[in-house]
Amino acid sequence: MRTAGLRSGASQAAALQRECESLAGQVPGALAGMAGAAGGGTLTPALERMAETGLKRFLDALALYQHVAEGLCQTAQQYDQTEAALAQRASGIGRVVP
């Protein structure tokens, strides 16, 4: 396992998280604005529900991306620690203890 790949994946997930965060601030507001401009009728409540649902979905995606990024970073750190421990143990193999 290459920890660089895990860290790269974590960076990609973090980038997606930032992009999703940006969209979460724009899309629901745009839908709410459209609802306000619709002038009533059945379109207004539908757009309001879409804005509310859209915000919830973006927040869910944000939490998911954060979880994935953190998990990949933690896994990379665990691999590094395990490799270091194994290397330390391996360096003692074959040594003659007086």
In a domain, 12, yes or no: yes
In a domain, 93, yes or no: no
Domain span at residue 72?
3-83
In a domain, 88, yes or no: no
State pTM to two decimals. Answer: 0.73
pLDDT at 89 over 70: yes
In a domain, 73, yes or no: yes
In a domain, 91, yes or no: no
pLDDT tens-digit readout, 49-73: 888 898 899 899 999 999 999 999 9
Please report, for residues 26, 76, 81, the alpha-carbon distance to residue 87 in angstroms, rounded to integers and kept in the order given.
50, 16, 10
In a domain, 92, yes or no: no
In a domain, 89, yes or no: no
Q: Which amino acid is at 77?
A: Q
What is the C-alpha separation between 62 and 80, in angstroms, rounded? 27
Among 59, 69, 71, smallest CA distance to 21 is for 59
Domain count, the chain: 1
In a domain, 71, yes or no: yes
What is the C-alpha separation between 13 and 43, in angstroms, rounded? 35
Q: Which residues contact 15 (CB under 8 A, 6 or more apart)?
A: none
pLDDT at 24 over 90: no
